[in-house]
Amino acid sequence: MSVMIKLSVFRHDPVGSSKPFMQAFEVPLLKPGMKLLDALNYIKWELDGTLTYRRSCGEGVCGSDGLNINGVNGLACITPIEGLKQPIHVRPLPSMQVIRDLVVDMDHFFDQYRQIKPWLQAESPLPEHERLQSPEDRARLDGSYECILCGCCTTACPSWWWNGDRFLGPAALLQANRWIVDSRDDATGERLDQVEDAFRLYRCHQIMNCMEACPKELNPTAAIGHIKRQLLSRKS
């Protein structure tokens, strides 16, 4: 008899009439270093095929399986079972509309990402080869470009819970800063204009849940602080 892992998984089908509930599962510990996603896969493939969740790469790169695990947001695929208090409570990302079980509606999240225009806006003519950047300028993108847009930070932010319709949230603002600091981008002024707003940017009250939640160990609060300092230096 192998060691069993106890899980309590959020189930909800908005199309049906039943209310959301937590379903208990027991999964054998298949291998040392087993991740939470392995347990969810076991449930789906061996116990209950109706369990619905997003997954793709399984190694913390695609950002599909952002979940609320024992009350803390993280990626199921890189969260080890060991160290998690059992039964492991697995819920969808907080404050999000549930499509089914652990799958949430990410439309608004990605719409906010689109609003910060996450692409290079350069005035200078296109060079024959790539746009060059010094190693120092490139190093300034460290801590921003690694973001995989899993939504763990934004859905952990109380400011975004209360005012998510207007506050852009940590993920989008981290990316806004990524383009503001990029030496190849010429639209810094417009980018700062776009976020200079009591709600879009200044709803951040440095709660720092985003930094706690980020599975890639990035610091969106610091990025937001950098945007605020840029606005300060522009005005004073």
Partner 1 sequence: MKTIKEPGSAHSGFSDWYWQRLSAVVLALLLPLSFILLVAVYNGSIDQQGLLNILDHVFSRVVHTVLIFALIIHAYIGLKVILEDYVHVLAWRIPLISLMLVLMSGFAIWWLAMIWAWV
Nearest 10 degrees: Cα torsion 118, 122, 128, 133? -80
Exactly one of 46, 59, 82, 193 binds partner 1 (CB under 8 A); which one?
193
Q: Judged by CB under 8 A, which stretch of 62-70, 135-143, 177-185, 192-200 contacts partner 1?
A: 192-200
User: How many residues of this chain bind partner 1 (CB under 8 A)?
Assistant: 27
Which residues, 102 to 161, sit near partner 1 by CB under 8 A?
Answer: 105, 107-108, 111, 115, 159
Hey, which bits of 48-165 come out as E strands?
66-69, 72-75, 88-91, 98-100, 103-104
N-to-C CA span, the chain: 69
* Closest CB 10 distance from partner 1, rounded Å: 19
Site for partner 1 in 151-170 (CB under 8 A): 159, 162-163, 165-166
Taking CB under 8 A as the binding criterion, the range among 84-92, 129-137, 210-218, 226-234 that sits at the site for partner 1 is 226-234
Q: Does 228 bind partner 1 (CB under 8 A)?
A: yes
For the CB of residue 214, give the shortest distance to partner 1 in the complex, in Å: 23
- Inter-residue contact 118 to 175 (CB < 8 Å): yes
Q: Return phi, psi of residue 192, to 5°.
A: -65, -40
Question: Which residues within the stretch 82-101 sit at the binding site for partner 1 (CB under 8 A)?
Answer: 97
Which is nearer to partner 1, 136 or 165 (by Cβ)?
165
- Residues 200-219: x where in contact with partner 1 by CB under 8 A, - otherwise, as a string: xxxx-x--------------
- Find how far residue 1's CA is from the centre of its chain: 38
For 152, 170, 200, the CA distances from 196, given in Å and listed in that order, are 24, 15, 7
Our CB check for partner 1 shows the closer of 88 and 96 to be 96
Within 8 A by CB and 6+ apart from 48, the residues are 23, 25
Q: Report residue 28 as tokens.
A: 């054998």
Distance CA 162, CA 126 (A): 43
Q: What is the footprint of partner 1 within residues 12-71 (CB under 8 A)?
A: none
Residues contributing to the site for partner 1 (CB under 8 A): 97, 105, 107-108, 111, 115, 159, 162-163, 165-166, 193-203, 205, 228, 231-232, 235
